[in-house]
Amino acid sequence: MMVPIFTLKLNHKINPRMVSVGKFDGVHPCLTAATQAGKVFIHNPHDRGQRPATHRLSKSTHDSDISLLNINQAVTCLTAGTLGPNTTGDTLLVGSQTNLLAYDVHDNTDVFYRDVTDGANAIVLGKLGDISSPLAIIGGNCALQGFDYEGNDHFWTVTGDNVRSLVLCDFTGDGKNETVTSLCHMHGSRFGYALANGTVGVYDRTARYWRIKSKNHAMSIHAFDLNADGVVELITGWSNGKIDARSDRTGEVIFKDNFSSSVAAVVEGDYRLDGQKQLICTSIEGEVRGYLPASKDFKGNLMDSNTEQDLIRELSQRRQNLLLELRNYEENAKVSMLSLSFSDTMGVIPANTQLQTALSVRAATEAQRAHVELSISTPNETIIRAVLIFAEGIFEGESHVVHPSVQNLSGCVQVPIVPPKDIPVDLHIKAFVGGRTSTQFHVFEITRQLPRFSMYEIIEDSSAAPPAGIVSFSINERPQRVVMWLNQNFLLPEVVESPNVTFNSLRGGGFMSFHMASNGQVDEFHSVHQKLTADMADHSNYIRNMLVQAEDARLMADMVTTKKRYRELYDLNRDLINEYKIRSNNHNALLARLKSVNQAIQRAGRLRVGKPKNQVIAACRDAIKSNNVNGLFRIMRAGAASS
Q: CB–CB of 282/305 below 8 Å? A: no
Q: Using DSSP, state whether 500 is helix, strand or coil.
A: coil
**Domain final residue, candidates 287, 319, 336:** 336
Give the containing element (helix H, strand E) for 361: strand 356-362
Find the DSSP H helices in 507-628.
532-535, 540-555, 559-606, 611-625
- Does any domain span residue 383? yes
Can you give the residue range of the structural domain that contains 625?
539-638
Residues across the chain: 643
**Domain final residue, candidates 336, 360, 388:** 336
The whole-angstrom distance between residue 282's C-alpha and the CA centroid of its chain comes to: 25
- Please report the pLDDT score of residue 370 as a whole number: 87
pLDDT in tens, 96-151: 888 899 998 888 888 899 988 888 888 988 888 778 888 899 988 888 888 998 88
Report the 10 Å Cβ neighbour count for 217: 17
- Does any domain span residue 105? no
Q: Are residues 546 and 626 in the same domain?
A: yes
> How would DSSP label each residue in 325-356?
HHHHHHHHHHHTTS-HHHHHHTT---TT---E
Q: Are residues 566 and 632 in the same domain?
A: yes
- Please report the pLDDT score of residue 564 as a whole number: 85
Q: Are residues 439 and 477 in the same domain?
A: no
Give the containing element (helix H, strand E) for 309: helix 307-335
Q: Are residues 485 and 567 in the same domain?
A: no
Percent over 70 (pLDDT), the chain: 83
Looking at the predicted structure, is the pLDDT value of residue 246 above 60? yes
- Does any domain span residue 206? no
- Does any domain span residue 247? no
- Does any domain span residue 617? yes
- Does any domain span residue 137? no
Closest of 484, 498, 639, 637 to residue 575, by C-alpha: 484
Global pTM reads 0.54
The one-letter code for the residue type at 151 is G
Q: Are residues 544 and 634 in the same domain?
A: yes
Sheet holding 287-291, edge to edge: 6-9, 287-291, 278-283, 263-269
CATH of residue 441's domain is 2.60.40
Structural domains of the chain, count:
4
pLDDT in tens, 573-606: 776 666 666 656 655 666 666 677 777 888 888 8
- Does any domain span residue 74? no
Closest of 31, 193, 133, 154 to residue 603, by C-alpha: 154
Query: Per residue, what are the HEC states of 221-252?
Result: EEEECCCCCCCCEEEEEECCCEEEEECCCCCC
- Please report the pLDDT score of residue 535 as a whole number: 42
- Does any domain span residue 573? yes
**Domain final residue, candidates 281, 311, 336:** 336
Looking at the predicted structure, is the pLDDT value of residue 301 above 60? no
Q: CB–CB of 639/608 below 8 Å? A: yes
Report residue 178's pLDDT band, with 50, 70 and 90 as the boundaries: very low
